[in-house]
Every structure is written in structure tokens, then in C-alpha cells.
Amino acid sequence: MKKIQLLSIMMLSGAFAFGANVTPQKAQVNFQVSIATEESSGSIADLVIDADKAIHGLQFDITFNPAEIKSITPQAISGFEVKYNELSDGLIRGLVFSLQGQALPGSLPFEFHNVEGFEGNSTIEFTDIILADSQGNGVDVEAQAYDISFSNLIPVKTELSDSYPNPFNPTTSINYGLQNDGFVEIMIYDATGRLVEELVNQNQTAGYHSINWNASNQASGMYFAKMVAGDVIQTQKLVLLK
């Protein structure tokens, strides 16, 4: 997939010709915590642009830890083109502009989704950022690293998520989310249906959870993780390779 380039798209739109000399004006770009909507299952933050004049184009590269953050998604903004591209694991490039040459709003909403089982803070950082004004001048910009909080997130539904690694040897992490507080059972069965081990058998609070299964004393083969949580019963296949 081709990398998104601010220059070519801005020239195509006719809004302005980007690439003139950088002017002295300064701008600050950072994230601020926002309020998540009922439809959102992730953490919401607004990318805030603080500049002394209107900004008409934005391109940015953001790095993050893919072991903690699963996805970073810029939200749609009425009247603007919002594009993004995952260049590699832990690196996305985004682009925001208007084909009509309108100034960008002062804040742009983003949604962050954590890797199943991860809770706490995860740091994101701008490695490259370009701002342009209405005349096509580059705007000098400063940006800081930002910690996204994934604490106390409540899943939109109760479910057993993908275990990792799978296939595994000899340990795997079984991840699951609980929409409500309640009694939870997680059991491991072998291919014959025999109960091998009971990992969880207790009341747990709503949120994301993870439990490790160490199968060092089991033979290679196919196993099944079964979760019972209220009315939800789900099973997942696990493959142990030694």
C-alpha cells in the first residue's frame, strides 16, 4: 500500500500548494482525554491543535507499542477527508484535510483499542508531524509523548478472546472480557472431553481479564478452553506443540 502524502493530495484538491517556506508561527499538538460514547469499547482522546492561525492540513506518524495497543483509529469529521494507513507494526500515518480548503477544527477525535488482557497506561509518540496553513506554508510544530489509559474499561459484551500464543509451548494466555460482575469458570479439556485443569472458579468484576495456562505436564495435542460466565458459554481450541 502506498504511503499517504500530504503534498500530493493537497495539490490535487486545489485548496493550496503545500511546500512553501516554513514560517515562524508555532503550534502545539497533543492529545487530551475525551468522554467515551456508549458505542465505543475503547479509550477516546482528542488530538488538539493549538496554533496562532488556522490550520488547513495535517499529516502525522504515530508510534505505539503493539503488545499493548491493538489499534488507533481517527474518527470521521463532517466535511473533511480523514485517512490513515498502518505502515508497520506499531506505526500509523494519518492525514486530515478538506477538498474545499476549510480550516481544520481545533480537535480531532481518536479511538484507541487495547490488546485483550492489557490494562494500564500505554505511551504513544509523534515521530513526524506536518501542519500547513491556508497559504501552503509549513507551520513549525511541537508535540509530546502521551499516555493513553486503558484502566477500568468495560467490554461491550462478555466473550472469550483469542489466546496468545496459539499454538503454544508450554504456556499460553487466555484472555476474556466480562460485561458485568459475576461468577466465572474457565476450564481446560483435552480432545476426548476429559477435564484437564480448572483455571478460574470464582466471582470476578466486569472488565478485561487474563489467565495463564502452563501445560508443561501435558502431552502435545489439541485442547479446549471453556468459559462459563452467566448465560455465556464459549469454547476455544488450543494447540500444544512440544
> Per-10-residue mean pLDDT for the chain, 242 residues long?
40 40 67 55 81 91 91 87 90 91 89 80 90 87 86 78 89 89 97 96 89 94 97 96 92
Are the beta carbons of 119 and 151 closer than 8 angstroms? yes
Assigned domain for 179 exists: yes
* pLDDT score, position 218: 95
The CB density around residue 174, as the number of other CB atoms within 10 Å, is 25
pTM of the model as a whole: 0.56
Q: Look at residue 60 in the predicted model and tell me its pLDDT.
A: 92
Inside any domain, residue 176 = yes
d(CA 78, CA 124): 26
- CA dist 36 and 121 (Å) reads 16
Same domain, yes or no: 27 and 135? yes
Q: How many domains in the chain?
A: 2
Residue 1 lies in a domain: no
**Which is nearest to 143 in space by CA: 230, 40, 60?**
60
Whether 45 and 24 share a structural domain? yes
pLDDT for the residue 6: 43
Whether residue 74 is found in the same domain as residue 122: yes
Rounded to whole angstroms, how far apart are CA atoms 218 and 190?
Answer: 10
Same domain for 102 and 216? no
Nearest C-alpha neighbor of 109 from the set 53, 25, 177, 39: 39
Report if residue 193 sits inside a domain: yes
Residues 6+ apart with CB under 8 A from 239: 166, 167, 168, 221, 222, 223
The boundaries of the domain holding residue 234 are 159-240
Whether residues 165 and 221 share a domain: the answer is yes
Q: Minimal CA–CA distance to 202: which of 177, 228, 233?
A: 228
CATH code of the domain covering residue 172: 2.60.40.1930
Query: Is 126 inside a domain boundary?
Result: yes
Q: Per the domain annotation, does 62 fall within a domain?
A: yes
* Same domain (yes/no): 170, 145: no
Q: Of the candidates 100, 125, 149, which is a domain's last residue?
A: 149
Reduced DSSP (H G I as helix, E B as strand, rest coil) percent helix, strand, coil of the chain, to 5 = 5, 55, 40
Looking at residue 233, its amino acid is I
Q: Do 128 and 168 sit in the same domain of this protein?
A: no
Please tell me whether residues 144 and 188 are part of one structural domain. no
Both 95 and 132 in one domain: the answer is yes
Residue 213 lies in a domain: yes
- Residue at a domain's end among 92, 120, 149: 149
- To which H or E segment does residue 28 belong? strand 20-33
Query: Are the C-beta atoms of residues 86 and 45 closer than 8 Å to each other?
Result: no
Residues 108 and 129 occupy one common structural domain: yes
Q: Reduced to 3 states, what is the DSSP secondary structure of residue 10?
A: helix
Select from 149, 150, 199, 158 the least CA-distant residue to 181: 158
Among residues 149, 174, 205, the one where a domain terminates is: 149
* In a shared domain, residues 137 and 24: yes
78 and 19 in one domain? yes
C-alpha cell read off for 55: 490550520
Q: Considering the domain boundaries, does residue 154 fall inside one?
A: no
